[in-house]
Amino acid sequence: MGWSERITQALTARRAADGWRQRRRVEHNSVREIVVDGLSYRHFSSNDYLGLSQHPAVIAGWQQGAAASGAGAGASGHVTGYSRYHAQLEEQLADWLGYSRALLFISGFAANQALIHLLAEKPDRVLADKLAHASLLDAASHAPATLRRFAHNQPASLTRLLTTPCAGATLVVTEGVFSMDGDSAPLAALAAETRRTGGWLLVDDAHGIGICGAQGRGSCWQQQVKPELLVVTFGKGFGVSGAAVLCDAATADYLEQFSRHLIYSTAMPPAQCHALLAALQQVQQGDARREKLRANIARFRAGAANLPWQLMPSDSAIQPLIVGENHAAVALSQRLAQAGLWVSAIRPPTVPPGTARLRITLTAAHHSEDIDALLEALYDAADK
Q: How far from 348 is each of 14, 134, 141, 337, CA to CA, in Å?
A: 10, 12, 19, 21
Q: Which is the catalytic residue, given 90, 183, 193, 204?
A: 204
204 is a catalytic site residue: yes
As a whole number of angstroms, the distance between CA 285 and CA 216 comes to: 9
48 is a catalytic site residue: no
236 is a catalytic site residue: yes
Q: Which is the catalytic residue, given 90, 175, 181, 228?
A: 175
* Binding-site residues for pyridoxal 5'-phosphate: 108-109, 179, 207, 233
Nearest to 300 by CA among 54, 40, 44: 44
Q: Which is the catalytic residue, given 133, 261, 274, 292?
A: 133
Q: Which is the catalytic residue, given 112, 179, 314, 316?
A: 179
Q: Which is the catalytic residue, given 55, 236, 274, 292?
A: 236
30 is a catalytic site residue: no
Nearest to 131 by CA among 78, 73, 174, 194: 174
**Helix 270-284, helix 56-69: angle, nearest 10:** 150
179 is a catalytic site residue: yes
Assess contact for 293 and 338: CB atoms under 8 A. no
Q: Which is the catalytic residue, given 46, 47, 112, 259?
A: 47
Nearest to 351 by CA among 189, 100, 134: 134
* Binding-site residues for substrate: 21, 133, 350
* Binding-site residues: 21, 108-109, 133, 179, 207, 233, 350
Edge-to-edge strand list for the sheet holding 200-204: 101-105, 243-247, 229-233, 200-204, 170-175, 125-129, 146-150
Which are the catalytic amino acids? 47, 133, 175, 179, 204, 207, 236
